[in-house]
Structure 1
Amino acid sequence: MSATVETPPTAVAAAPAPGAPVAGRGRGRRRLTDALLPAAVLLALIGVWYAITYLVLDPTRRFLMPAPHTIVTDALFDGPTMEKIGEALGRTITVTFVGLLIAIAIGMVWAIAMSQSRTVERSLFPYAVALQCVPILALVPLIGFWFDYGFSSRVIVCVMISLFPVVSNTLFGLQSVDRGMHELFDLHGAGRVTRLVKLQLPAAMPAIFAGFRISAGLSVVGAIVGDLFFRKGSPGLGVLLNNFSSRLQGAELFLTIIVAAALGIAVFALFGWLGRIAVGRWYDQSRDAA
């Protein structure tokens, strides 16, 4: 009799099926697709831009929306224009990060205080909502009157615009901890500070950094808005936008807008990167598993 050799089930399971996609290859294709799709949209937008400039606008009014290559030749390659934009960009970056850091500090303390007491939350949260709902342009004249029209006023506007996402997202994260984890800390007799440091803050990190990313973009808006209205002192991107607009310098105006948008994207991406470092890959893996 001939012996029958049985194949171990583990060996059968380990062998990939013919034609099955490789995991690494699938990830590579996904990354390539993620890179190509935004590029395709960008090319489509540039095509629409050219169509509006040369097919819709009258030749005498094309300065209102100059073609992309005109922005490059007339503004990007113009030394004095780039010098002005570079200096203004540096000042706007300073206001952006100072205001954002102050907003993060105030917002974190505000949210932590509300998370520790329902009474404090009921007392303070309506004012956070009111701060978000009040039109900032209505307060700009008062801010300039009280704090002058220089660097401090620009920072205050930046803080007011970017504060609410930090408060709301941090509070949401701190209050969203699983009840079972709270009961486990109760079982071990953990105090309020221990519970906050070892349970609530680590669990709230994804929500906290989501708020930071939103506030990062808003802080750029706040810096430019403040610069538009407080024109004393060193000019930033907001002053340049107003100057180029009043002089009908279309290429310079559009380049400044692109630089301001790039600044907002860069700050947003920076805090997204910091969030991935602080939170780690466990949060992304848990979402993929879900």
Structure 2
Amino acid sequence: MSPPHRSQHPLLRITLPPLIALGVFVAAWELGTAVLAVPAFLLPPPSAIARVAVADASTLALATATTTRAALTGFLLSACFGVLAAVVLSSSRLLERALYPYTVFLQTVPIVAIAPLLVLWFGPGDRAVSVSAFIVSVFPVIANTLTGIRSVEPALRDLFRLYGAGRLATLTKLELPAALPSIVTGLRVAAGLAVIGAIVGEFVAGFSEGGAGLGILVLSAYRQLRTDLLFAAVLCAAALGLALFGVVSFTGGRLLRRWHPSARP
């Protein structure tokens, strides 16, 4: 007996279930706030958030652009520095034991506590916010890249050594290609963390040269008890993180899908 024919488009099969769940959640939220008469300053209904998002679209767009610039700068810095640092650490076990704990420190340091120092060192604005995004997002890149390089099959290393391959050839033709799935995983995690770091940095760094970011907008809406605008700003930040994650995932999938099973449909 032949299997039933699937007429649904693959993209529809992937997107339809979460869209249905989202629709049910939004409808329940809207209905619940109306039935329970929840004050708007505590929990605004989705319709109120949508109205303020349309009314303040220009403010939200400018704030999103400002945060995007800082988050993207921090993410690119973490990608470049993270891969380079992992390559350096992988060159020597002694060097790894000496320096790797300090990379863990970057992950455990409370960014809210050191954000005032970043303002003192780099000045208020984009530079301090970008450094905040970098500090928060760099560790996953270092950790995953180092794990990927360390996970190369010993037999392949012996084969390269047998044929007289130098350190640079082994790195570029064996270790980095083999570590690419782990690097992509680290970049995916770093993409979302960069947005979080940028928002936290904006809480302290204040207005940037190009205007207020989403972090400043969240604080301003909170102080004015404009919870609907606060929700709209948070949704913009979430959408920014999701977009950055999607770009990294798409790019990584394109790089890996021809040879690595993790990226195959």
2:83 counterpart of 1:108: yes
TM-score, normalised on structure 1?
A: 0.85
* 2:49 equivalent in structure 1: 71
Deviation at 1:21, TM superposition (A): 4.7
2:152 counterpart of 1:177: yes
The alignment partner of 1:149 has SS state of coil
2:49 counterpart of 1:55: no
* 1:217 equivalent in structure 2: 192
Q: Distance in 1 between matches of 2:229 and 2:262?
A: 45
Deviation at 1:198, TM superposition (A): 0.3
Q: Distance in 1 between matches of 2:124 and 2:203?
A: 11
2:75–2:133 CA contact under 8 A, matched in 1: yes
Matches within 5 A, 1:76-95: 76-78=53-55, 81-95=56-70
* 1:161 equivalent in structure 2: 136
Q: Distance in 1 between matches of 2:123 and 2:45?
A: 40
Q: Aligned residues: percent identity?
A: 36
2:262 counterpart of 1:282: no
* 1:6 equivalent in structure 2: none
* 1:271 equivalent in structure 2: 248
2:53–2:60 CA contact under 8 A, matched in 1: no
2:141–2:187 CA contact under 8 A, matched in 1: yes
Q: Distance in 2 between matches of 1:286 and 1:128?
A: 29
* 2:232 equivalent in structure 1: 255
The alignment partner of 1:106 has SS state of helix
* 2:169 equivalent in structure 1: 194
Deviation at 1:178, TM superposition (A): 1.3
TM-score, normalised on structure 2?
A: 0.92
Q: Distance in 2 between matches of 1:265 and 1:287?
A: 21
- Cα–Cα, structure 1 residues 201 and 250, in superposed 2: closer, same or farther, change >3 Å? same
Q: Distance in 2 between matches of 1:155 and 1:77?
A: 28
2:149–2:178 CA contact under 8 A, matched in 1: yes
Deviation at 1:125, TM superposition (A): 0.5
Deviation at 1:112, TM superposition (A): 0.3
Larger Rg: 1
Question: For the aligned residues, what is the CA RMSD?
Answer: 1.9
- Cα–Cα, structure 1 residues 173 and 20, in superposed 2: closer, same or farther, change >3 Å? same
Q: Distance in 1 between matches of 2:27 and 2:252?
A: 35
Number of matched pairs: 263
- Of structures 1 and 2, the one with the larger relative CO (CA 8 A, separation 6+) is 2
The alignment partner of 2:164 has SS state of coil
* 1:43 equivalent in structure 2: 23
- Cα–Cα, structure 1 residues 35 and 261, in superposed 2: closer, same or farther, change >3 Å? same
The alignment partner of 2:2 has SS state of coil
2:220 counterpart of 1:243: yes
Q: Distance in 2 between matches of 1:57 and 1:155?
A: 41
Q: Distance in 2 between matches of 1:43 and 1:269?
A: 22
* 2:14 equivalent in structure 1: 34
2:111–2:200 CA contact under 8 A, matched in 1: no
The alignment partner of 1:19 has SS state of coil
Q: Distance in 2 between matches of 1:286 and 1:46?
A: 32
2:2 counterpart of 1:19: yes
One-letter code aligned to 1:261: A
Deviation at 1:285, TM superposition (A): 6.4
Deviation at 1:227, TM superposition (A): 0.9
Q: Distance in 2 between matches of 1:216 and 1:112?
A: 20
**5+ residue gaps, structure 1:** 1-17
2:142 counterpart of 1:142: no
Deviation at 1:30, TM superposition (A): 5.7
Deviation at 1:55, TM superposition (A): 3.3
Deviation at 1:287, TM superposition (A): 7.4
The alignment partner of 1:62 has SS state of coil
